[in-house]
């Protein structure tokens, strides 16, 4: 197998320059970097991550911790992070906390503490004070997506504002009987379900409308959960809402399917809006608040790269606001 010195001879540079060019660390001109990469490709040279780690104390590996493996949003964030990390020459190790309490404890007490990672991205996790302390004690760059996490730089959405914006869209269309499908008691996610419900209530009260208790149903952020909740909301003709705001697109899609099964037309009989801009949202014509999870993953990597490499920018404020956008499709219409 060719070594670094063979690559250096072919590229006409020193071994130190090859190391800097292929590791991404240190100053190398774009032309030299391209020449070194071409030589490495021609020879089939692959940088040894173990050797690099011994020399630099780094593994070029980032740990990503998520609460669920089988949810679209978390997968989209991870895909964005992985793509950005690969561009920077980093690997990704995924830690899923969706299992037992013992598995969760092992992640924080053993796997991360073994220092197999250079940095950590925590996606939509509400961590205990002890878990936050363990992350900070790693003395490695940490960024939270969907924060805030005390003492940790985070990228976060104003979930109250998202709930308010979705509800205000329905009110602007003339709807007054608006129901809300929110998270159940098992959903942690930085109090996300509660905050989106607060936004819903605030928008209703600001418009002089009542957010009735019978117009709220909890669900588990899945299509099945949204379907069941919407069946309850729409199945009773007494006090039936003319619009539904679901705290996630998957629940909103479930609501659309429930309305269809009840013989109702969307948006003629009921308008429905969600949050996410799920990959199926356009197919279902779902009006939604887009939150760009792929971009959230990429932004998290940018924050980490700023801290991992020499000459990175000065640390910004602890909390960085994430963008969102109202996307109007055919599932909402004037009352």
Residue owning tokens 């979705």: 166
Alpha carbon distance, N-terminus to C-terminus of the chain? 71
Architecture, CATH, for domain 4-47? Orthogonal Bundle (1.10)
- CA 262 and chain centroid, separation: 33
**pLDDT the model gives residue 184:** 63
Q: Which CATH superfamily is domain 61-157+294-321 in?
A: Response regulator (3.40.50.2300)
Count of CA atoms in the C-beta half-sphere (13 A) of 211: 22
Separation of alpha carbons 266 and 30, rounded Å:
55
Separation of alpha carbons 303 and 305, rounded Å:
6
Same topology between domain 61-157+294-321 and domain 159-290: yes
Architecture, CATH, for domain 159-290? 3-Layer(aba) Sandwich (3.40)
**pLDDT the model gives residue 169:** 98
**pLDDT the model gives residue 188:** 46
**pLDDT the model gives residue 18:** 82
CA-based nearest residue to 253, from 292, 284, 291: 284
Per-residue pLDDT of the chain (335 residues; tens, 9 = 90+): 577 788 888 989 887 788 778 766 567 788 888 898 898 888 877 665 545 544 445 678 898 988 887 888 889 999 999 999 988 888 998 888 876 777 777 777 777 766 578 888 988 777 777 777 777 777 788 898 986 677 788 898 999 999 999 999 999 999 999 999 997 654 444 456 788 999 999 999 999 999 999 999 999 889 999 999 999 999 988 889 999 999 999 999 999 999 999 999 999 999 999 999 999 999 999 999 999 999 999 999 999 888 887 555 555 567 888 999 999 999 999 99
Q: Write down the pTM of the prediction.
A: 0.78
Name the residue ranges covered by the structural domains of the chain: 4-47, 61-157+294-321, 159-290
Separation of alpha carbons 202 and 58, rounded Å:
48
């Amino acid at each position: 197998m060719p070594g670094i010195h063979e690559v250096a001879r072919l590229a006409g540079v020193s071994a130190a320059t090859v190391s800097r060019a292929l590791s991404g660390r240190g100053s190398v001109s774009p032309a030299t970097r391209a020449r070194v990469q071409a030589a490495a490709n021609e020879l089939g040279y692959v940088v040894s991550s173990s050797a690099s780690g011994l020399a630099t104390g780094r593994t070029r590996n980032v740990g990503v911790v998520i609460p669920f493996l089988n949810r679209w949003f978390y997968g989209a964030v991870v895909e964005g992070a992985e793509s950005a990390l690969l561009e920077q020459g980093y690997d990704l190790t995924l830690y899923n906390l969706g299992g037992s309490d013992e598995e969760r404890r092992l992640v924080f007490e053993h796997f991360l503490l073994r220092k197999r990672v250079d940095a950590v991205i925590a996606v939509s996790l509400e961590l205990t004070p002890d878990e936050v302390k363990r992350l900070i004690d790693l003395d490695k760059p940490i960024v939270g997506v969907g924060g805030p996490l005390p003492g940790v730089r985070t990228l976060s959405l104003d979930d109250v504002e998202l709930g308010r914006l979705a509800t205000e869209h329905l009110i602007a269309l003339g709807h007054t009987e608006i129901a809300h499908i929110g998270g159940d008691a098992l959903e942690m996610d930085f109090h996300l379900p509660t905050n989106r419900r607060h936004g819903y209530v605030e928008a209703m009260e600001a418009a002089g409308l009542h957010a009735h208790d019978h117009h709220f149903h909890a669900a588990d952020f899945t299509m099945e959960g949204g379907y069941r909740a919407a069946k309850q909301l729409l199945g009773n003709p007494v006090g039936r809402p003319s619009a539904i705001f679901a705290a996630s697109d998957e629940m909103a899609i479930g609501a659309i399917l429930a309305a269809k099964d009840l013989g109702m037309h969307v948006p003629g009989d009921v308008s429905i809006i969600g949050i996410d801009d799920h990959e199926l949202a356009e197919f279902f014509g779902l009006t939604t608040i887009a939150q760009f999870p792929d971009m959230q993953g990429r932004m998290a990597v940018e924050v980490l790269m700023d801290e991992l490499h020499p000459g990175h920018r000065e640390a910004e404020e602890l909390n960085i606001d994430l963008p969102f956008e109202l996307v109007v499709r055919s599932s909402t219409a004037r009352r």
